């Protein structure tokens, strides 16, 4: 009989505010006055959290919603909000996929897959129907969100895309006109617009979207790399930023771009991007983000340090005053130098030139305003849009897992202030409690598995496992290990400085700090009888501590209160640093792992050496003893796991388990066999693996973390495990009722490996040739598109056979009416006896619009005549004409040469053309009729439904006639 195991699956994630891979987007939420809210200026923060997107209420610090797609395991790398429909967000992922989310229902509207590597930039156009995406693969793709397909791919940059903005200026002459025709022509002229892109290759490019080519290229940065791009809201200028704190200011000729968009030939006659000068910010690190405020008089920029610099853009009057001050200072210098007579004429000329605004330098317009110091290294920021003109607010996401809101007062133009007076900013709100600032280094579960303690450098948090909420937060030292004491009311933490810190969960207070060791305390464990504790340290000692209750006097009273304290009982000295120690569950043995790659087993009562376990090539980082006290499992930095018998110290098995150092191992207390020899291991290779300690085989692989896994805790019942990683997340993996078999798991892993290599090998070879061209098709083969292509090919083969069968039966029925119907394919019978064309159409409709073109590319040319046969039937019977046209035009474009060369295809194409033209004509007539009817109904509704309380035409006449002016003379 084949042995089965119960499967563990990922159930919850918590402890993460935001991950350092994606940008933050501020959303008004329901607090905006435009939506009927109070407009108190907090709103929501949309952030990436590994593979999920989180929506936080900034004021309350609550998690409002989590957007997760079970099919997606890649990290979020870019987020953009649609300016037309504020509930629609585009989210880019590390694997090159893009998903459009509806924030109200937290579901994916449409997904795209066209990039080969991580998405770095996303931007919606002004109308909200197109999306531009830039990636590390150096390509820019324009997506049509209505048709749900990629329009084209723009090539030109030689390194990853770092900035992406649509440039869609409004023609000035159309602003002045107020006729309906003017509005329509304006929409037509800016329908395509232009695209501005920057890359790590230090280039800034301006693309004409209508002609799909680059019309201008400049070197954006002088020092090698361009990392950020910001554009003003009126498209009049932009800023590029790179290394060494260099900012370059550009002006954009919007009027020239408007003229270019109206031209039919669209030939760029002159430059539209003009460099206006270079600024230098205070920080000399790489500038990674820059953005203009909605009022255009401020912009903020940040690098990888703990600061955001806000710059102010002066008005023309301020620039003139600045120039006047410079002129005055220059006169004073000349006067003091005693060169009045001979330079007076030159000075006057110079002053006259200075009065002209063109003489002003870029540093006269852009001046540093304030540097906002943040609580962590800045990952990204977004402006909070408020109606208040007295302050500007910034939402900042930091790399240490927190969100902060800073309020900065704006410059009061009416008051005269000294230029060196810095505005006093303040941190008004933050979201920091639901996560640690540093990596979680230790986890421990309470005896009833309800509470979880997680410890990091500077912080200890206690969580409710079921609700995923943080119950308590304590400040502690650099924690390396932690444990709940019996009763689950006190948590003990071992620190890097050698202290044992005791925390009371109920009163949320630190009870005591014991200076236990001279070196770092790497490990601690409570004795199985619950009366003492053992700690192991880098000072080559293991100390045993007894729990004692003593009566402490309450200051100012004669009453006493019971307090717990640790009393040192014994010390075990060894030859090297202790990295891990474990009591056997029967309390007979103590295993100690040393830095010299060995494990020593002692008797607990006498502390005499029992066994020496040799074999690992590098230090043993962790170990565990099975619950029947018969097996000990050790893991090491040499990537191997060893299983030993505790009777004689013999090595049962040594096997290569992970691709990197193995950090933790833990036995499951009770599996379905009852012997408790199943165990988990975690590693720096981001994997958790589930092993059978008797068969020495891997049962299951749990992948979900995006970085090394530092800590692991197994529940007392074995129903779930908890893991913590460098990606700042805490994940719970629950045991399910689903059974898994080892053979099936091996097959699944081989299939995944095959699929991953298959999709990369299927990338078209002509991409290398197309690298010289600027435009390409936005296509990418995935497992989904391959499956869809196979389904279409299979449906066509089954359908064409059935079509011929039914034609033969129809012909036979004319000769002999009583001919019995033929035996058709069982699929058609199972679907209720549908016809072949309905079945093929059903298969084509089920393919996602974004994946349809890639699925059609999978089809060999031999299936094209079959496909065209069905397209002819679809056109004849007017079945889903938009989809029919889309497939037809794409196939004609793709296989144009072969189709033209084939004589048999000509008759088929003639038939499709006539049938399709007839279908389109009838649809056009129908739409025209419906539009005319809607106009008539619209005018009727306006006539019947509008009842003016006041006649606007006779308003002034009535006012003149009546002596008394009253607001409402007659209401009914």
| Pair (669, 543) in one structural domain | no
pLDDT (tens digit per residue) in 513-570: 999 999 999 999 999 998 899 999 999 999 999 998 888 777 878 788 888 889 999 9
The pLDDT confidence band at residue 191, using thresholds 50, 70 and 90, is: low
- Find the helix or strand (DSSP H, E) in which 93 lies: strand 88-93
- Residue 959 counted as domain residue: no
User: Angle 388-393-399 (CA atoms, 0-180°, nearest 5)?
Assistant: 165
The pLDDT confidence band at residue 465, using thresholds 50, 70 and 90, is: very high
Q: Is the pLDDT at 574 greater than 90, yes or no? A: yes
- Say what percent of the chain tops pLDDT 90: 40
**Average pLDDT in the 935-946 region?**
86
The overall average pLDDT reported for the chain is 84
| Pair (800, 743) in one structural domain | no
- Residue 882 counted as domain residue: yes
pLDDT at 415: 52
- DSSP assigned state of 872: H
The pLDDT confidence band at residue 309, using thresholds 50, 70 and 90, is: very high
Question: In 3-state terms, what secondary structure has residue 519?
Answer: coil
* Contact assessment for residue 891 and residue 905, using Cβ atoms and an 8 Å cutoff: no
Q: How far is CA 182 from the centre of its chain?
A: 41
Q: Is the pLDDT at 769 greater than 50, yes or no? A: no
Half-sphere exposure of 21 (CA within 13 A, CB side): 24
Q: Nearest-CA neighbor of 395 among 56, 121, 87, 35? A: 56
> Tokens standing for 32?
């905006």
Gap between the Cα atoms of 488 and 481, Å rounded: 16
- Residue 698 counted as domain residue: yes
Q: Is the pLDDT at 483 greater than 90, yes or no? A: yes
* Contact assessment for residue 364 and residue 305, using Cβ atoms and an 8 Å cutoff: no
Gap between the Cα atoms of 51 and 22, Å rounded: 10
Q: Nearest-CA neighbor of 470 among 496, 497, 508, 500? A: 508
pLDDT top residue among 682 and 181: 682
* Contact assessment for residue 276 and residue 250, using Cβ atoms and an 8 Å cutoff: yes
CB count in 10 Å sphere of residue 317: 9
pLDDT at 410: 85
CA distances from 791 to 784, 786, 796, 797 (A): 11, 9, 9, 10
CB count in 10 Å sphere of residue 568: 12
Gap between the Cα atoms of 794 and 801, Å rounded: 11
Q: Is the pLDDT at 367 greater than 60, yes or no? A: yes
Gap between the Cα atoms of 102 and 119, Å rounded: 20
pLDDT at 355: 52
- Residue 904 counted as domain residue: yes
Show the domain range for 590: 574-712+738-753
Provide the CATH number for the domain around residue 583. Answer: 2.130.10.10
Gap between the Cα atoms of 455 and 500, Å rounded: 13
φ and ψ at 626, to 5 degrees? -65, 160
φ and ψ at 348, to 5 degrees? -60, -45
Q: Nearest-CA neighbor of 685 among 701, 709, 704? A: 709
Q: Could you give the strand order of the β-sheet that contains 226-231, starting from the edge strand earlier in sequence? A: 226-231, 237-242, 246-252, 273-280
pLDDT (tens digit per residue) in 90-131: 999 998 999 999 999 889 999 898 898 999 999 999 988 999
- Residue 594 counted as domain residue: yes
- DSSP assigned state of 655: E
**Average pLDDT in the 949-954 region?**
55
pLDDT (tens digit per residue) in 376-388: 999 999 999 887 7
| Pair (207, 317) in one structural domain | yes
- Find the helix or strand (DSSP H, E) in which 649 lies: none
Gap between the Cα atoms of 671 and 691, Å rounded: 12
**Cβ contacts of 209 within 8 Å, gap of 6 or more:** 142, 192, 193, 194, 195
> Tokens standing for 676?
């408790």
Helix 254-262 to helix 180-189 angle, to the nearest 10 degrees?
A: 90
Q: Is the pLDDT at 22 greater than 50, yes or no? A: yes
pLDDT (tens digit per residue) in 827-852: 878 888 888 888 889 888 888 887 88
| Pair (448, 403) in one structural domain | no
- Residue 693 counted as domain residue: yes
φ and ψ at 337, to 5 degrees? -75, -10
* Contact assessment for residue 295 and residue 387, using Cβ atoms and an 8 Å cutoff: no
| Pair (516, 376) in one structural domain | no
- Find the helix or strand (DSSP H, E) in which 290 lies: strand 289-292
| Pair (498, 455) in one structural domain | yes
Q: What is the 3-state secondary structure (H, E, C) of 66-89?
A: EECCCCCCCCEEEEEECCCCCCEE
* Contact assessment for residue 581 and residue 536, using Cβ atoms and an 8 Å cutoff: yes
The pLDDT confidence band at residue 673, using thresholds 50, 70 and 90, is: low
| Pair (580, 568) in one structural domain | no
Q: Nearest-CA neighbor of 703 among 53, 51, 111? A: 51
| Pair (463, 539) in one structural domain | yes
pLDDT at 354: 44
Gap between the Cα atoms of 429 and 233, Å rounded: 27
pLDDT top residue among 203 and 318: 203
pLDDT (tens digit per residue) in 714-763: 999 889 999 999 999 999 999 999 988 888 888 888 887 877 777 666 66
- Find the helix or strand (DSSP H, E) in which 899 lies: helix 896-901
pLDDT at 254: 87
pLDDT (tens digit per residue) in 339-364: 554 545 554 454 444 455 666 778 88
709-714 and 720-725 beta bridge pairing: antiparallel
Q: What is the 3-state secondary structure (H, E, C) of 163-219?
A: EEEEECCCCHHHHHCCCHHHHHHHHHHCCCCEEEEEECCCEEEEEECCCCEEEEEEE
Report the length, in residues, of the chain.
Answer: 972
| Pair (25, 123) in one structural domain | yes
**Average pLDDT in the 860-865 region?**
85
> Tokens standing for 424?
């006093």
* Contact assessment for residue 152 and residue 210, using Cβ atoms and an 8 Å cutoff: no
Bridge-partner residues for 92, per DSSP?
78, 98
pLDDT at 185: 40
Gap between the Cα atoms of 602 and 617, Å rounded: 22
pLDDT at 771: 53
Question: In 3-state terms, what secondary structure has residue 349?
Answer: helix
pLDDT top residue among 950 and 677: 677
| Pair (401, 283) in one structural domain | yes
Gap between the Cα atoms of 593 and 411, Å rounded: 63
User: Angle 722-726-727 (CA atoms, 0-180°, nearest 5)?
Assistant: 85
The pLDDT confidence band at residue 269, using thresholds 50, 70 and 90, is: low
pLDDT (tens digit per residue) in 122-155: 999 998 899 999 999 899 999 999 888 888 899 9
- Find the helix or strand (DSSP H, E) in which 405 lies: strand 402-409
- Residue 766 counted as domain residue: no
Its pTM stands at 0.84
The pLDDT confidence band at residue 779, using thresholds 50, 70 and 90, is: confident
| Pair (597, 742) in one structural domain | yes
pLDDT at 169: 83
pLDDT at 675: 66
Gap between the Cα atoms of 624 and 619, Å rounded: 15
pLDDT at 181: 38
**Cβ contacts of 171 within 8 Å, gap of 6 or more:** 186, 189, 190, 258
* Contact assessment for residue 96 and residue 133, using Cβ atoms and an 8 Å cutoff: no
* Contact assessment for residue 617 and residue 631, using Cβ atoms and an 8 Å cutoff: no
> Tokens standing for 283?
């920080």
Question: In 3-state terms, what secondary structure has residue 935?
Answer: helix
**Average pLDDT in the 890-901 region?**
84
The pLDDT confidence band at residue 599, using thresholds 50, 70 and 90, is: very high
Q: Is the pLDDT at 965 greater than 50, yes or no? A: no
Bridge-partner residues for 361, per DSSP?
none
Q: Is the pLDDT at 266 greater than 90, yes or no? A: no
pLDDT (tens digit per residue) in 406-438: 999 887 654 554 555 677 888 888 888 889 999
For tokens 């920057």, name the residue. 198
- Count of the separate structural domains present in the chain: 5
| Pair (527, 393) in one structural domain | no
- DSSP assigned state of 557: S
Q: What is the 3-state secondary structure (H, E, C) of 524-539?
A: EEECCCCCEEEEEECC
- Residue 83 counted as domain residue: yes
**Average pLDDT in the 501-516 region?**
90
């Amino acid at each position: 009989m084949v042995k089965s195991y119960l499967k563990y699956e990922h159930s919850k994630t918590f402890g993460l505010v935001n991950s350092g891979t994606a940008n933050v987007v501020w959303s008004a939420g329901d607090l905006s006055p435009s939506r009927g809210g109070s407009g108190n200026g907090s709103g929501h923060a949309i952030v990436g959290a590994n593979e999920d997107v989180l929506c936080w209420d900034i004021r309350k610090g609550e998690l409002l919603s989590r957007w997760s797609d079970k099919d997606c395991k890649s990290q979020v790398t870019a987020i953009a909000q649609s300016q037309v429909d504020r509930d629609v967000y585009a989210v880019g992922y590390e694997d090159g996929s893009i998903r459009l989310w509806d924030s109200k229902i937290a579901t994916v509207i449409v997904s795209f897959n066209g990039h080969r590597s991580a998405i770095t930039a996303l931007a919606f156009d002004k109308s909200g129907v197109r999306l531009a995406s830039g990636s590390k693969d150096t390509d820019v793709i324009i997506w049509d969100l209505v048709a749900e397909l990629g329009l084209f791919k723009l090539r030109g940059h030689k390194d990853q895309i770092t900035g992406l903005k649509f440039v869609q200026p409004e023609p000035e002459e159309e602003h002045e006109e107020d006729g309906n025709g003017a509005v329509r022509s304006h929409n037509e002229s800016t329908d395509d617009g232009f695209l501005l892109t920057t890359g790590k290759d230090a280039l800034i490019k301006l693309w004409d979207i209508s002609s799909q080519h680059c019309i201008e290229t400049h070197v954006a940065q002088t020092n090698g790399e361009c990392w950020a791009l910001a554009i003003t809201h009126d498209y009049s200028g932009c800023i590029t930023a790179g290394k060494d704190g260099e900012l370059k200011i550009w002006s954009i000729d919007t009027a020239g771009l408007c003229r270019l968009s109206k031209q039919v030939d669209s030939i760029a006659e002159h430059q539209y991007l003009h460099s206006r000068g270079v600024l230098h910010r205070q920080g000399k690190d790489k500038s990674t983000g820059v953005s203009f405020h909605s009022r255009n008089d401020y912009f903020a920029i940040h690098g990888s340090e703990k600061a955001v610099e806000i710059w102010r853009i002066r008005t023309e009057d301020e620039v003139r005053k600045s120039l006047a001050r410079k002129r005055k200072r220059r006169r004073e210098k000349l006067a003091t130098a005693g060169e009045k007579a001979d330079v007076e004429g030159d000075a006057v000329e110079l002053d006259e030139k200075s009065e002209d605004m063109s003489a002003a330098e870029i540093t006269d317009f852009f001046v540093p305003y304030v540097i906002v110091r943040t609580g962590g290294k800045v990952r990204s920021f977004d402006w909070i849009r408020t109606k208040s003109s007295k302050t500007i607010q910034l939402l900042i996401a930091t790399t240490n897992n927190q969100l902060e809101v800073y309020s900065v007062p704006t410059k009061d133009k009416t008051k005269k202030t000294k230029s060196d007076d810095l505005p006093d900013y303040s941190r008004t709100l933050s979201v920091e409690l639901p996560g640690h600032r540093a990596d979680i280094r230790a986890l421990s579960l309470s005896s009833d598995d309800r509470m979880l303690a997680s410890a990091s450098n500077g912080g200890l948090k206690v969580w409710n496992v079921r609700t995923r909420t943080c119950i308590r937060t304590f400040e502690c030292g650099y924690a390396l290990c932690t444990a709940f004491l019996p009763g689950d009311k006190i948590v003990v933490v071992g620190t890097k400085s050698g202290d044992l810190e005791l925390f009371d969960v109920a009163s949320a207070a630190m009870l005591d700090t014991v200076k236990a060791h001279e070196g770092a305390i790497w490990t601690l464990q409570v004795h199985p009888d619950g009366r003492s504790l053992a700690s192991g340290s880098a000072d080559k000692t293991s100390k045993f501590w007894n729990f004692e209750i003593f009566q402490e006097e309450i200051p100012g009273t004669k009453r006493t209160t019971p307090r717990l304290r640790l009393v040192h009982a014994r010390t075990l000295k060894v030859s090297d640093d202790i990295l891990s120690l474990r009591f056997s569950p029967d309390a007979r043995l103590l295993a100690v792992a040393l830095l010299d790659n060995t494990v020593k087993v002692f008797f607990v009562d006498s502390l005499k050496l029992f066994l020496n376990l040799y074999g690992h090539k590098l230090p043993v980082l962790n170990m565990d003893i099975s619950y029947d006290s018969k097996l000990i499992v050790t893991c090491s930095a040499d990537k191997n796991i060893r299983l030993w018998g505790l009777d004689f110290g013999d090595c049962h098995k040594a096997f290569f388990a992970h691709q990197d150092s193995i950090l933790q191992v833990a036995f499951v207390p009770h599996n379905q066999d009852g012997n408790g020899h199943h165990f988990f291991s975690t590693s720096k290779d981001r994997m958790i693996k589930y092993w059978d300690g008797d068969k020495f085989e891997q049962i299951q692989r749990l992948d979900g973390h995006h970085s090394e896994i530092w800590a692991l805790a197994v529940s007392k019942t074995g129903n779930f495990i908890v893991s913590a990683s460098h990606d700042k997340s805490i994940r719970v993996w629950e045991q399910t009722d689903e059974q898994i078999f080892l053979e099936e798991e091996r097959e699944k892993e081989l299939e995944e490996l095959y699929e991953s290599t298959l999709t990369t090998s299927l990338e078209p070879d002509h991409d290398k040739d197309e690298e010289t061209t600027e435009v390409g098709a936005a296509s990418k083969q995935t497992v989904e598109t391959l499956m869809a292509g196979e389904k279409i090919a299979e449906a066509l083969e089954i359908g064409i056979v059935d079509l011929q069968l039914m034609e033969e039966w129809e012909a036979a029925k004319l000769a002999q009416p009583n001919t019995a119907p033929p035996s058709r394919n069982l699929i058609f019978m199972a679907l209720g006896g549908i016809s072949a064309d309905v079945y093929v159409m059903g298969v084509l409709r089920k393919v996602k619009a974004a994946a349809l073109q890639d699925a059609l590319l999978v089809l060999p040319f031999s299936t094209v005549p079959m496909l065209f046969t069905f397209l002819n039937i679809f056109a004849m019977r007017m079945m889903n004409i938009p989809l029919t046209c889309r497939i037809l035009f794409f196939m004609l474009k793709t296989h144009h040469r072969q189709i033209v060369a084939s004589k048999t295809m000509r008759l088929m194409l003639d038939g499709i053309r006539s049938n399709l033209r007839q279908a389109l004509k009838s649809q056009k007539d129908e739409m025209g009729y419906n539009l005319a009817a809607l106009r008539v109904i619209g005018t009727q509704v306006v006539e019947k439904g509008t009842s003016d309380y006041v006649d606007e035409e006779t308003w002034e006449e009535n006012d003149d006639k009546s002596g008394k002016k009253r607001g409402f003379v007659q209401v009914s």
